[in-house]
A = this chain, B = another copy of it.
Amino acid sequence: MIVVGDLQPGKKLKIDGLRTLLEIGASPIREALSLLTSDQLVERIDQRGFRTAAVSRENFNDILSLRCTLEEMALRQSIANASEAWEDELVLSHHRMLRETRDHIEGFEARHKAFHMALLSASSSPLLLKLCSQLYDLNIRYRYLAGKSLNYTKRDVSSEHDNILRAALERNADQAAELLLSHYRKTGAFLTGLIATSEDTQG
């Protein structure tokens, strides 16, 4: 709900409110919020409860920058360790993403993440993969906040994805990394503009 934007950034998370909303006790909620705290999606304040992580352009650029560094690292490792099983999974996730794009826009985001994680999945570093996954979620949150309306799926991401896929399958790490980072920075620059307008809406 935080990622998708159902809960406003910087908003106070009243446990009692969530309790009735989710129809479960307070303990599981506290536990969930505690977990999300370390994922940077929830902030904890002294003895004043929890709130959703604030958003800002600085924070967004921070995420984007880290993401580029880590994903490039992971991608190069992944290509270096490439196996046939990895290839299969990559092609499969790519196809599923395309199919989902046509049929139900709903599941696209999940497929999109699956594809990007598949690119990195042959990396030998579990820690790195986990960080990339977390940063992906932090980043996607901004995309949702910028407005689900932005039909960014219609841009030219499709061909970008195709090119990344091709480079990866060709084991061309340099090109794949360049394309991937370009892909991120392009959407990043696009979102940065949108954030500027809605910057003051945070509590």
A interface, CB within 8 angstroms of B:
27, 30-31, 34-35, 37-40, 58-59, 62-63, 65-66, 69-70, 73, 124-128, 130-131
Q: A134 — nearest CB in chain B belongs to which residue?
A: B38
CB pairs A–B below 8 angstroms (12 shown): A34-B34, A35-B38, A37-B38, A38-B38, A40-B127, A58-B124, A59-B126, A62-B127, A65-B125, A66-B127, A66-B128, A69-B69
| B27–A63 touching, CB < 8 Å | no
User: B residues within 8 A CB of A63?
Assistant: 127
User: B residues within 8 A CB of A40?
Assistant: 127, 130
Q: A36 — nearest CB in chain B belongs to which residue?
A: B38
Q: A37 — nearest CB in chain B belongs to which residue?
A: B35
CA distance A62 to B128 in the complex (A): 8
Tell me the interface secondary structure of chain A in the complex: helix
CA distance A38 to B62 in the complex (A): 20
User: B residues within 8 A CB of A69?
Assistant: 69-70, 73
User: B residues within 8 A CB of A73?
Assistant: 69
Q: A65 — nearest CB in chain B belongs to which residue?
A: B125
Q: A39 — nearest CB in chain B belongs to which residue?
A: B38
Which A-B residue pairs are the 9 nearest by beta carbons?
A: A38-B38, A34-B34, A62-B125, A62-B127, A31-B34, A34-B35, A66-B127, A38-B39, A35-B38
CA distance A73 to B130 in the complex (A): 19
User: B residues within 8 A CB of A124?
Assistant: 58, 62
CA distance A35 to B27 in the complex (A): 14
CA distance A27 to B28 in the complex (A): 10
User: B residues within 8 A CB of A70?
Assistant: 69
With A34-B35, A35-B37, A66-B128 given, can you name 8 additional A-B contacts, CB distance below 8 Å? A30-B31, A35-B35, A38-B38, A40-B130, A58-B124, A59-B127, A62-B126, A66-B125
